[in-house]
Amino acid sequence: MNKLLLKKYLNNTCSDQELEQVKQFLQQPESVELFREVLDEAWLEMEETELNLHAMATYRQQLMQKFQSNEQHIPETTRLWPTKLMKYAAILILPLLFGLYQLSKSKGEIPVKIALIESYNPKGQRSTVTLSDGTVIHLGSNSKIRYPKTFSNLREIELIGEAFFNVKRDITRPFIIHTNTVQTKVLGTSFKIEAFKDNPIEVSVATGKVMVDRQTDSNKKHLTSLAVLTPGNLVNWDEKTKKATLAKVSTQELEQWKDGNLTFNNQRLADVVAVLERCYNVTINISSHKLSNYRINTTCSLNESITKIMDIMSKAASFKYKLEGDQIIISN
């Protein structure tokens, strides 16, 4: 098997005989290494300015449906994308092909129950966790992650709360974060996830590329693509309304978050207060509904005391505050 034939397969230009050769090759363990080389070449050729996120997400969703409709067979590539998107195919296909190979390899094997480690931060605390593969996680307040001591074929963890990830690059083993019904998959990149209970889930990318999917059944087998994200982009998924929203985000602000710097851009005072309560383990009450909707624009550091931050905000927003026991009361 050679790279040229694999590229023909990805571009859907194989003859019937060549297609059969590729299908047979993809069942072999050595296919992973060669696909990694092909992927790296495609990755290096990509220009960020050429990326069409909607087209990538649409194609990936169509590809996922082909896998899920017939998990026993490697699908043919399809003519679903324009010529300029051909080189994206390798990036989107490889994690699926490798996952399918691992699935077929594990058939007949007895599943092994893996013991998981849980790291939890109560309100007012933050921490940094380094995983066995070298991935570094900056875990926020009132947040927890569950992960294995060592990874095997796949790198999978669970998150409740918020965290910034610096994922160690490994093309043969995608890194997957499970947050309720949303699944975030990367090969090696940095990004932030906010996934608190009963709130929308938000994935924001600082570097690299991130695939965000939603589970559509209780067995967690079928996925719907929400977005393929690149640096400076985010997706917000609201489980209640079943709505996904794409937006821009400052990569600098994302990077600063892990160092304890918070930036609020035109956010409601009520939402800012919720963040401060979590980060400082305090109770803050706002005396009026009108004041709750006041928009805040400021940057602050968690190295500062809560009173220092309240001083800054009260001057900017023209409100008063006072301490009553273990509570902070905000009023006009």
Query: pLDDT averaged over consecutive 10-residue blocks of the chain (332 residues)?
Result: 74 80 77 63 47 53 50 43 44 48 46 79 96 96 95 90 94 88 89 94 94 78 83 94 94 93 92 95 92 90 93 88 89 88
Tokens of 225: 């693509």
Tokens of 11: 């571009």
- Please tell me the predicted confidence (pLDDT) of residue 245: 94
Q: Are residues 291 and 180 in the same domain?
A: no
Tokens of 236: 């917000």
Domain assignment present for 111: no
Closest CA to 97 of 122, 128, 60, 123: 60
Closest CA to 11 of 99, 88, 66: 88
Domain assignment present for 217: yes
Q: Are residues 192 and 137 in the same domain?
A: yes
Q: Are residues 151 and 236 in the same domain?
A: yes
- Please tell me the predicted confidence (pLDDT) of residue 117: 93
Q: Are strands 175-179 and 201-207 parallel, antiparallel or unpaired?
A: unpaired
End-to-end CA distance of the chain: 73
CATH number of the domain within which 120 lies: 2.60.120.1440
Domain assignment present for 52: yes
Domain assignment present for 233: yes
Residue given tokens 């693509």 in the structure block: 225
Domain extent, residue 270, equals 260-331
When divided into structural domains, the chain yields a total of: 3
Distance CA 82, CA 84 (A): 6
Residue given tokens 């690149």 in the structure block: 230
**Which residue, of 84, 106, 128, is where some domain finishes?**
106
Q: Are residues 224 and 279 in the same domain?
A: no
Task: Report the half-sphere exposure of 319 (CA within 13 A, side-chain side).
Answer: 24
What is the identity of the amino acid at 319? F
Tokens of 314: 């009260």
- Please tell me the predicted confidence (pLDDT) of residue 76: 46
Q: For 19-29, give one letter per residue: b (16+ CB within 10 A) or e.
A: beebeebbeee
pLDDT digits (tens, 9 = 90+) for 97-134: 444 444 444 444 445 567 889 999 999 999 999 999 99
What is the identity of the amino acid at 213? D
Angle at the Cα of 259 (from 300 to 142), degrees rounded to 5? Answer: 85
- Please tell me the predicted confidence (pLDDT) of residue 304: 93
Q: Are residues 53 and 157 in the same domain?
A: no
pLDDT digits (tens, 9 = 90+) for 145-177: 999 999 987 899 999 999 999 999 887 788 999
Distance CA 331, CA 291 (A): 8
Query: What global pTM score does this model have?
Result: 0.72
**Which residue, of 202, 226, 253, is where some domain finishes?**
253
Q: Are residues 197 and 304 in the same domain?
A: no
Strand-pair partners of 191: 165, 205
- Please tell me the predicted confidence (pLDDT) of residue 103: 45
Q: Are residues 146 and 242 in the same domain?
A: yes
Q: Are residues 10 and 52 in the same domain?
A: yes
Distance CA 286, CA 331 (A): 6
What is the identity of the amino acid at 59? Y
What is the identity of the amino acid at 307? T
Q: Are residues 247 and 156 in the same domain?
A: yes
What is the identity of the amino acid at 255? E
